[in-house]
Every structure is written in C-alpha cells, then in structure tokens.
Amino acid sequence: MAAARVSGKALDHAVLCGLVGYNVRRAELYMRQEFERNLGARRFRPGEFSALVLIAANPQVTQSGLAHAMGIRPPNMVGLIGRLERRKLVRRAADPRDRRNQTLDTTAKGESLLREARRQVAAGDRRAARALSRDERAQLISLLRRLHGIG
Amino acid sequence: MAAARVSGKALDHAVLCGLVGYNVRRAELYMRQEFERNLGARRFRPGEFSALVLIAANPQVTQSGLAHAMGIRPPNMVGLIGRLERRKLVRRAADPRDRRNQTLDTTAKGESLLREARRQVAAGDRRAARALSRDERAQLISLLRRLHGIG
C-alpha cells in the first residue's frame, strides 16, 4: 500500500469537516488564540473576562449562580474566582441571606480594568472574525445561539 | 443600590452575547457535553475521536504532523496518543526516514471501533444540532470553516 505520508497542513480530514462539533472546536481554539494574542498582556483568559463581565452586570451574584450561568463546574470556578480576587478585581462577601453562600462584586480596580478590556475584547472579536462580512458575523452569532440554546 | 440578586439562569449576559468568541465557547461546551453523552460509554473524548479519524485517513502520519493538524501543542498530544495506544487502537513505529520521528497507524481494533464510532458521532452531531434546519446546519459549518480558516 502506498502510504500517504503527509505534512501537518495537508492531512486529510474530510470526515471531520462535515461535523458541527469539529468545526466548533476548531473555531473555539482559533478564537481563544486570537483572544490571548489580544488580551494576553493583561493576563486575562476568556473565562476570566466573561466572569468579570457577569459579576459587574449582576451585583452580589453567588459563586454557584455564576458557575451555573457560565456552564462551569463549581470546582473550576474556585480557581478562576481566586485568580480574580488575588488581582483585587473582585471581592467576596458572605451572603446575608444564606451564610453558606458567598456573593461576588467587582472592585473599583475591576471596574476600571473592565472598561478598557471590554473595548479591546469587542474590537479583537470583530478583528478575529474579519473573514466574515458584518451580516455573516451576525448570522453566525444567531446560529450559534440557537445551537447552544442560551440567551 | 438595589442589588439584583439573580439565580444562575437569569444572569444578565448581554455584553457577552454579541461576541463571536463567547458564543463559540458556549457552543463548544454544549457540543462537548453532547458528545460525551453520546460517546461516553466508549470512553472517547472529542479529541481522541478526531485523532483516530485522522490517523486512519493518513497512514504513517507523524505525531508532530498530527499535533499540527489538530492545533494541539505537542506535549498535550503525547497524553492523547498514549491513551489510544494503551487501548491498542493505534500503533507507533519509528519513522524509517527520520529516526527521531515516530509514525502512527490504526490497529485492526482501532479500525473496527472507528467504523462504529463514526456512525454514532455523525448521528449524535446531527442530533445535537437539531435546533437548526438542514440548510442552517450547513450554513453554520460553512461560516465556522471560514472563521477558523482550516480546510
């Protein structure tokens, strides 16, 4: 058998290309790399940015409520929030209604960082999707939202 | 200030919803959960399935070529291939053209598992995207491919 030895780029991946799952994974990888190129200097990961946005928009959100909203398992949430707290971007407090819970709020430093990061992320997101027209980008977002069923 | 305490589902995430990156992440999470629900009994992760498909379609592919094609860093590739090898689904051999390289091939057991898994994955992928019509699914795949720029 003539074995097709191929370099990375040229690999035959026809079977995978017809799968939504495979293309969503590749798109997620691509967007994450673009995000890191864009926001890496601020030491922000996509999940940290999302968490900060959600905490700012939802004062006194509980950690478990945030985990649920982000589709993240509570153990993974602990590390993420810990990183934001050590950087003094968010603050924890005991929930007055249920002492077993903790609520989260952004600090002034967190708000200020977020204001700039938000602009940078929005611009980076548009730049990353420059292969698509404005309408196609909107269409992609709409299809993805129907796929994952959130919001 | 009347703090809007909200449960997980109801969190305000308007800022994030307009980002391609956020929606791609949520879609990836959703598709991964669906994949695991579907293929979990076979102890297959999405990346392991992709690797097995690529190895089967590209005989004697090198490990580094595969890592490159999958957009995975070589250290992460080692663990992934190790898992497939321990399950006797793939086989490593020294590359006759370059002894520092190793080539990969599927075993008969790998081929046989793949035949069934492929059907299951294709059916599961369509089921996971049931919120979209056939045309919309094709459109989503086409937009994602232009976004990530592969293939």
pLDDT digits (tens, 9 = 90+) for B71-108: 888 888 989 999 999 999 999 998 887 877 889 999 99
Report the residue of chain B nearest A104, measured CA to CA. Answer: B5
Least Cα distance to A48 among A104, A100, A101 occurs for A104
Distance from CA of A86 to the nearest CA of B (A): 24
Q: Do B147 and A139 touch (CB under 8 A)?
A: no
Residues of B in contact with A18 (CB under 8 A): 122, 141
Which pLDDT tens digit goes with each residue over A110-144?
999 999 999 999 999 999 999 999 999 999 999 99
Q: Best interface-test mutation with B: which of A77, A105, A118, A144 has the largest number of B CBs within 10 A?
A: A144
Q: How far is Cα A42 from Cα B43, in angstroms, rounded to an integer? A: 37
User: Is A14 near chain B, with CB under 8 Å?
Assistant: yes
Looking at CA atoms only, how far is residue B145 from chain A in angstroms?
A: 6
Quick: pLDDT tens for A59-111: 999 988 999 899 888 888 989 999 999 999 999 998 887 877 889 999 999 99
Give CA torsion, residues A36, A109, A104, A44, to 10 deg: 10
Contact status of B132 with chain A (Cβ, < 8 Å): yes
Contact B24 A6 (CB under 8 A): no
Q: What are phi and psi of B80, to 5 degrees?
A: -65, -50
Residue B135 three-state SS: helix
What ipTM was estimated for this complex? 0.88
Instruction: Compute, in degrees rounded to 10, the torsion defined by CA atoms A117, A119, A124, A126.
Output: 150
- A15 lies within 8 A of chain B by CB: yes
